[in-house]
Structure 1
Amino acid sequence: MTTTHEYGERIGTTASLRAGATAAVLDGDRLLLTRRSDNGEWCLPGGGIDPGERPAETAEREVFEETGLTVRATDLLGVYSNPDVVVVYADGNRVQILGVLFRAEIVDGTAGLSVEVTEVGWFTAEEAARLTVIANHVPLLPTAFGTAGPYFNRSAPE
């Protein structure tokens, strides 16, 4: 079984909440994206915040674990969560993600593969728009590319 998504109005109320952090790493106008081994979709590198860890540390650790790149988080770019999307993992856990997005700069290394990542790439905004990107990361891309201000999910219109 692969990681999937469930959609529905406020479906997040049927799941647990999981905190995570992601990194937007740019090389000029190209953004680092990784292809997930569990579902084949593209995403920003990131993952769950471990107890005792700062969100920025999570973003740095996850980039290293997933790609082998050593990065340093430099700026907070946004906070995201969508109560209308639930991530369903292979083990049956269902979570609504509460994520923190950071800008990160490369300190050392070259992007490579890992158990979690089958492909890495550096993409322009136009190239990324043609990829299948995981649902929670699609709205983050303009901020990650630097073409939009800080990201947060606005309240639903009444």
Structure 2
Amino acid sequence: MSEYVQSIRARIGNDFLFLPAVTAVIRDGERFLLARDTGEHWSLIGGGIEPGEEPADALVREVLEETGAEVRITGLVGAYGGEQMMRTYGNGDQAGYVTIAYECELLTAAAPDMEEIFELGWFERAAIAELPRQKWIDRVIADAPV
């Protein structure tokens, strides 16, 4: 949790918080790079945009923080929100996100940071449907260019 979100949580407790985010759609041919979180769910890599930060810069920062990898943004996939982007965390914090998904090229090797993500894997579209996953990624994967 960023210092910014921590400062808001100190004032509002577990109440609902609406946050901007970014998502990386990293591909190798027909395979997508997904990350497994502490809750055993697979998702695309991404995170929150900090105050004053450009969304594209936030994406590059989040991928680097979570995987140690550098990426180059090659396009825009779309913007996503709605009920599928709302969560209640184990500590009771409620949050909703709107995320901007960018298509990215992986420039350096990636490895999980072992704090936010615990495993990385490459999956084809059909295999993703069989994974325990954050369901909202289905919309992003469907919108990613073929």
What TM bracket, shorter-length normalisation? Answer: 0.7 to 0.9
The residue aligned with 2:119 is 119
**Kindly tell me: are residues 119 and 71 of structure 1, through their superposed partners in 2, closer, same or farther at Cα, counting changes over 3 Å?**
same
1:87 and 2:72 are equivalent in the alignment: no
How does 1:1-158 map onto structure 2 within 5 Å?
15-37=16-38, 39-83=39-83, 86-108=86-108, 110-114=109-113, 115-144=115-144, 146-147=145-146
- Equivalent in the alignment of 1:10: none
Percent of aligned positions that are identical: 34
Code of the residue aligned with 1:90 in structure 2: it is: G
Distance change (3 Å), C-alpha of 1:15 and 1:118:
same
> Where in structure 1 are there 5+ consecutive unaligned residues?
1-13, 148-158
Deviations 1:4-46 (A, max 9, x none): xxxxxxxxxx832110000001111111000012x11000000
Gaps of 5+ in 2: 1-14
CA distance in 2, matches of 1:92, 1:78: 29
- Let me know the Cα RMSD of the aligned residues: 1.6
TM (normalized to structure 1)? 0.76
Asked if the contact 1:82–1:136 (Cα under 8 Å) also holds between the matched residues in 2, the reply is no
Report deviation, 1:84.
Answer: 6.0
Q: Which runs of 4+ in 1 moved over 4 A?
A: none
Structure with more helix by fraction: 2
Letter in 2 for 1:112: A
Compute the displacement of 1:50 (Å).
0.7
- In 2: Cα distance, 1:15 partner to 1:67 partner: 29
Q: Which moved more, 1:53-62 or 1:96-105?
A: 53-62
Could you tell me which amino acid in structure 1 is paired with residue 100 of structure 2? V
TM-score by length of 2: 0.82
